[in-house]
């Protein structure tokens, strides 16, 4: 299935779509991408995408980060699960334009070279203290705060 067909099947779905995200923490920095497609086109966010049929959640995280950022990751642990529902025409909640159930995972970079890949226009590492400059959604901010805390707990810093 090509990218265009895949993207269209996410809009006005018959059922919720499973999405995954990978939060890479490197010291006091995290990896962000600027989305190149809807929903949230041109906004900064956590790299990730949708689960493909027959794919494991961890496999999807690894694939999506490689495709979007060029970074190879080791998936460490689940940060949070939440839903993202974008209302349909005229705010119709009964027929949402997008409906995702998102699982975000804490990841560790294991190789690769940072670059903007498929579905993104930019990929960068950002200091935790600079996150407010990127106008992140409330969900993204919450997940990143949890990820930094989890990373500090893992490393004892």
Q: Is residue 157 part of a domain?
A: no
**Number of domains forming the structure of the chain:** 1
Q: Is residue 139 part of a domain?
A: yes
Domain that holds residue 106: 17-152
Whether 46 contacts 104, CB under 8 Å: yes
- For 69-114, the pLDDT digits (tens) are 999 999 999 999 999 898 888 777 778 999 999 999 999 999 999 9
Question: Is 125 a residue whose pLDDT tops 90?
Answer: yes
Q: Is residue 51 part of a domain?
A: yes
- What CATH number did the domain enclosing 145 receive? 3.90.79.10
Q: Is residue 73 part of a domain?
A: yes
Q: For 3-12, 21-30, 146-155, which range has the lowest pLDDT when averaged over its residues? A: 3-12
Q: Is residue 11 part of a domain?
A: no
- For 24-52, the pLDDT digits (tens) are 999 999 999 999 998 889 999 999 999 99
- Selected residue with higher pLDDT from 37 and 7: 37
Q: Is residue 116 part of a domain?
A: yes
- Determine the straight-line distance between the first and last CA of the chain, rounded to whole angstroms: 45
CA dihedral 19, 99, 116, 150 (to 10 degrees): -50
**Per 3-state DSSP, what percentage of the chain is helix, strand, and coil (rounded to 5)?**
30, 40, 30
Q: Is residue 4 part of a domain?
A: no
């Amino acid at each position: 299935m090509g990218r265009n067909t895949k993207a269209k099947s996410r809009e006005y779905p018959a059922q919720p779509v499973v999405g995954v995200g990978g939060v890479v923490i490197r010291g006091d920095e995290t990896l962000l991408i600027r989305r190149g497609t809807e929903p949230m086109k041109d906004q900064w966010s956590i790299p990730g995408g949708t689960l493909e049929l027959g794919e494991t959640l961890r496999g999807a995280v690894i694939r999506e980060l490689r495709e979007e950022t060029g970074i190879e990751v080791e998936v460490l642990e689940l940060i949070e699960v939440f839903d993202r529902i974008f209302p349909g025409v005229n705010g119709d909640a009964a027929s949402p334009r997008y409906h995702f159930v998102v699982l975000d995972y804490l990841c560790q970079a294991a190789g690769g070279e940072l670059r903007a890949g498929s579905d993104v226009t930019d990929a960068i590492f950002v200091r935790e203290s600079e996150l407010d400059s990127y106008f992140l959604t409330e969900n993204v901010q919450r997940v990143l705060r949890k990820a930094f805390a989890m990373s500090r707990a893992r490393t004892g810093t």
